[in-house]
Structure 1
Amino acid sequence: MGRVVRKAAGAAVTGSLTVLLAAAVTVGAGGPAHAQGTLNDRLAARSAKNQGKPGSGDERLLVEAKELVYDNDRNTVSAVGNAELHYGPRTLLADRVRYDRNTGRVFAEGNVRLTDETGAVVTGDRMELTDDFKSGFIDSLRIQQTIEQRGRPARVRFSAPRAERIEGETTTFEYGTYTACEPCKDHPERPPLWQVKAARIIHNNEERRIYYEDSYLEVAGIPIAYLPYFYSPDPTVRRDTGFLAPHFVSSNVLGYGIGTPFFWNIAPDYDLTVEPTFLSKQGVLGQAEWRQRLANGFYNVRVSGIFQSTPSAFLPGPLGSGDRDFRGSIESAGQFYLGQNWRAGWDVVGVTDKWFLDNYRIRNQTISTDYFREAVSTAYLIGQGDRSWFEARGYYFKGLSTYDWQKQQPIVAPVIDYDKRRDGPDPIGGEVRFQANFTHLTRDATQYTQIPRTGTYLLSPSVNGISFPLYSTCSVFERGQCLVSGLAGDTTRATAQVSWRRTFTDEFGQRWQPFAYLRGDAFFVNPNTTGYQNPEVTNLFSPESNFSGRVMPAVGLEYRYPFVADMGPLGVHTVSPIVQVIARPSETHIGRLPNEDAQSLVFDDTSLFEWDKFSGYDRVEGGVRANLGAEYSITGRNGFYMNAMFGESIALAGVNSFRRGDIANVGRDSGLETTRSDFVSRFQVSPNQNISFITRARFDNATFALKRFESGITAKFAPFLPLETSLIYARYEAQPELGYDRRREGLQASALYNITPNWFVTGSVLFDLSHYLQVREFYATAAQAYFLNPVGTAPTYDKADKFYVSSSGLGFGYRDECTTISLNYLSSPIETASGLRERNRTFLLRIELRTLGEANFRQNLSTTTTADGIATAR
Structure 2
Amino acid sequence: MARFAAATALASSLAYVLPAGDAWAQAQAPQKPQERMVVDARELVYDNKNNAVSAVGDVQILYQGRTIEADKVTYDRASKRVIATGNARITESNGTVITGDRFNLTDDFRDGFIDSLRVVNPDKTRFTAPRAERTDGETFVFEKGIYTACEPCKEHPERPPLWQVRSARIIHKKSEQTIYYEDSRLEFAGIPLAYIPYMSGPDSTVKRKTGFLSPTFLNTGPLGYGVGLPYFINLAPNYDVTLTPTYLTRQGLLGQVEWRHRLENGSYNIRAAGIFQQEQEAFLAPPYGAGDNKFRGSLETSGKFFINPRWSFGWDVAMSTDRWFWKNYRIKSESISSTTFLQESISTAYLNGQSSTAWFDLRGYYFQSLSSTDWQKQQPVVLPVLDYDKRVHKPSFLGGEIEFTANVTHLTREAAAFKELPTQSTYLISTPYGSLYDGCAIYQKSTCLVRGIAGSVARATAEVSWRRNFIDPLGQMWTPYASVRADIFSVSPSTTGYANANVSSIADTSDEAFGRVMPAVGLMYRYPFVAKTSFGTHIIEPVAQVVARPNETNSLRVANEDSQSLVFDDTNLFEWNGKFSGFDRVEGGSRANVGALYTGRFGSEAYANILVGQSYQLSGRNSYAQGDLVNTGLNSGLDTDKSDYVARAQLSPMKGLFFSGAARFDASTMEAQRIDAAASYSTGKFSSSISYGRYEPQPALGIPRRREGLGLNGSLEVAQYWRVRAGVLFDLDKYKYDREVWRNTYEAAVLNPAIAVPAYPKTGPLQTASLNFGLNYHDECTVFDVSYTQSYADRALSGTNNKDTRTVMFRLELRTLGEISYSQNLGQSTAGDGVSSSSSR
Q: Corresponding residue for 2:383?
A: 413
Tell me how far apart the structure 2 counterparts of residues 79 and 376 of structure 1 sit (CA, whole Å).
72
**Aligned mates of 1:872, 1:214 — CA distance in 2:** 46
Distance apart, 1:305 and its partner CA: 0.6
Q: Tell me the equivalent position of 2:615.
A: 649
Equivalent positions of 1:648-727 (< 5 A) are 648-718=614-684, 722-727=685-690
In structure 2, the residue matched to 1:368 is: 337
Q: For residue 420 of structure 2, what is the amino acid of its counterpart?
A: Q
Closer/same/farther in 2, CA of residues 763 and 232 from structure 1, 3 Å limit: same
- 1:58, CA displacement in angstroms? 4.4
Give a deviation string over 1:136-176, Cα, whole Å, max 9, x none.
211000011132xxxxxxx2110000011224421110000
1:357 corresponding residue in structure 2: 326
Give me the whole-angstrom Cα distance separating, in 2, the residues matched to 1:126 and 1:734. Answer: 81
Equivalent position SS for 2:342:
coil
Q: Does 1:425 align with 2:390?
A: no
Query: d(CA) in 1 for partners of 2:467 and 2:634?
Result: 31
Does residue 464 of structure 1 match 2:427? no
- 8 A contact 2:91–2:98 mirrored in 1: yes
Question: Which residue in 2 is equivalent to 1:592?
Answer: 557
Question: Quick one: distance in 2 between partners of 1:695 and 1:255?
Answer: 46
Distance 1:440 1:863 in 2: 42
Cα displacement (A) at 1:368: 3.0
The answer to whether residue 360 in structure 2 is matched with residue 398 in structure 1 is no
1:7 aligns with: 2
Query: 1:119 corresponds to which residue?
Result: 95
Report the CA distance shift for 1:9/1:692 in structure 2 as closer, same or farther (over 3 A).
farther
Contact 2:11 2:25 in 1 (8 A): no
The DSSP-based 3-state class of the residue aligned with 2:94 is: coil
CA contact (8 A) 2:625 2:633 kept: yes
Helix, strand or coil for the counterpart of 1:358?
helix
Paired residue type of 2:180: Y
Equivalent position of 1:486 in the other structure: 452
Write the letter of the residue equivalent to 2:814: L
* C-alpha deviation, 1:189, in angstroms: 1.5
Q: In the alignment, residue 600 of structure 1 is paired with which amino acid?
A: S
- Structure 2 contact 84–103 (Cα < 8 Å) conserved: yes
Distance 1:847 1:794, change over 3 A: farther
Distance 1:139 1:543, change over 3 A: closer
1:38, 1:558 → 2: CA distance?
90
- Give the Cα–Cα distance (whole angstroms) in 2 for the partners of residues 792 and 649 of structure 1: 51
Q: Do the aligned partners of residues 112 and 801 (structure 1) sit closer, same or farther apart at CA in structure 2, a change above 3 Å counting?
A: farther
3-state secondary structure, aligned to 2:122: strand
Q: Give the distance between the partners of 2:94 and 2:137, measured in 1 at CA.
A: 10
2:134 to 156, 160, 165: 165
State whether residues 507 and 629 of structure 2, in contact with CA within 8 Å, keep that contact through their aligned partners in structure 1.
Answer: no
CA distance in 2 between partners of 1:507 and 1:41 (Å): 84
Q: Specify which of 73, 76, 79 is matched with residue 103 of structure 1.
A: 79
Flag the 1:775–1:740 CA change in 2: closer, same or farther, 3 A: farther
Which residue number in structure 2 is paired with residue 16 of structure 1?
none
How far residue 457 of structure 1 moved from its aligned partner, in angstroms, is 4.2
Note closer, same or farther for the CA distance 1:117–1:209 as it changes in structure 2 (3 Å cut). same
8 Å contact kept, 2:737–2:794: no
CA distance in 2, matches of 1:179, 1:337: 42
* Cα displacement (A) at 1:256: 1.7
CA distance in 1, matches of 2:672, 2:548: 30
TM-aligned CA deviation for residue 41 of structure 1: 11
Q: Could you give the per-residue CA deviations for residues 311-368 of structure 1, whole angstroms, max 9, x where no partner exists? A: 1121111111111111111111111111110111111111101111111111113213
Deviation at 1:425, TM superposition (A): 2.7
Mapped contact 1:63–1:84 kept (Cα < 8 A): yes
1:707 corresponds to which letter in structure 2?
Q
**Residue identity matched to 1:65:** A
**1:26/1:170 CA distance change after superposition, 3 Å:** closer
Secondary structure of the structure 2 residue equivalent to 1:594: coil
Q: Is the 2:15–2:25 Cα contact (8 Å) retained in structure 1?
A: no
1:516 to 470, 482, 489: 482
Deviation at 1:712, TM superposition (A): 1.0
**Cα contact 1:829–1:837 (8 A) shared by 2:** no
Question: Within the alignment, does 1:759 sit opposite 2:722 as a pair?
Answer: yes
Summarize the alignment of residues 435-834 of structure 1 with structure 2, pairs less than 5 Å apart. 435-458=405-428, 462-468=430-436, 471-532=437-498, 534=500, 536-541=502-507, 546-567=512-533, 569-611=534-576, 612-718=578-684, 722-774=685-737, 776=739, 797-829=760-792, 834=797
Question: Is 2:88 aligned against 1:141?
Answer: no
Per-residue Cα deviation, 1:34-90 (whole angstroms, up to 9, x for no partner): x5444389859x99xxx9xxxx77434333322222222222222211222222422
Matches within 5 A, 1:330-345: 330-345=299-314
Match of 1:856 in 2: 821
Letter in 2 for 1:750: N
RMSD between aligned alpha carbons? Answer: 2.6
Q: Point out the more displaced range, 253-262 or 759-768.
A: 253-262
**Hey, what does 1:187 align to over in structure 2?**
156
CA distance in 1, matches of 2:745, 2:382: 34
- 1:372·1:831 contact (CA, 8 Å) conserved in 2? no
Unaligned runs of 5+ in 2: none
Q: Determine the C-alpha separation between the residues in 1 that align with 2:747 and 2:424.
A: 26
Query: 1:533, CA displacement in angstroms?
Result: 6.2
How far the C-alpha of 1:294 sits from its partner, in A, is: 1.0
**Amino acid aligned to 2:569:** D
Please say if residues 494 and 521 of structure 1, whose CA atoms lie closer than 8 Å, have aligned partners that are also in contact: yes
Distance 1:103 1:232 in 2: 36
How far did residue 794 of structure 1 move? Answer: 6.2
How far the C-alpha of 1:272 sits from its partner, in A, is 1.0
Question: Aligned partners of 2:706 and 2:159: how far apart in 1?
Answer: 60
Structure 1 residues 861 and 788, CA, compared in 2 at 3 Å: closer, same or farther? farther
Assess, with a 3 A threshold, how the Cα gap between structure 1 residues 26 and 320 changes in structure 2: closer, same or farther: closer
Q: Structure 1-normalised TM-score?
A: 0.91
Unpaired runs of 5+ residues, structure 1, are 1-5, 14-19, 148-154
Please state how far the C-alpha of 1:283 moved relative to its aligned partner.
1.2
Of 828-837 and 613-622, the range deviating more from structure 2: 828-837
Secondary structure of 1:566's aligned partner? strand
Cα deviation, residue 788, structure 1: 12
- CA deviation profile, 1:563-619 (whole Å, cap 9, x unmatched): 01122x422210000000000101001222110000110001111101211000000
What's 1:202 paired with?
A: 171
SS of 1:668's partner is coil
1:3 — aligned with what?
none
Partner Cα distance (1:290, 1:790) in 2: 57
1:383 corresponds in structure 2 to 353
* 1:476 Cα deviation from its structure 2 partner: 1.8
Distance 1:717 1:793 in 2: 58
Q: Is residue 321 from structure 1 mapped to residue 321 from structure 2 by the alignment?
A: no
1:299 lines up with 2:268 in the alignment = yes
Give deviations 1:266-324, integer Å, cap 9, x for gaps: 11111111111111111111111111111111111111111111111211111111111
Q: Which one of 69, 75, 89 corresponds to residue 93 of structure 1?
A: 69
Match of 1:272 among 241, 247, 257: 241
2:192 corresponds in structure 1 to 223
Change in Cα spacing, 1:850 to 1:26, as seen in structure 2 (3 Å) is closer
Is the 1:22–1:39 Cα contact (8 Å) retained in structure 2?
Answer: no
Equivalent in 22, 25, 33 of residue 39 of structure 1: 22
Instruction: Supply the AA of the counterpart residue of 2:129.
Output: A
**Aligned-residue offset at 1:479:** 1.2
What TM-score, normalized by structure 2, do the two folds share?
0.95
d(CA) in 2 for partners of 1:83, 1:41? 14
Note the C-alpha offset of 1:845. 0.6
Partner residue in 1 for 2:125: 156
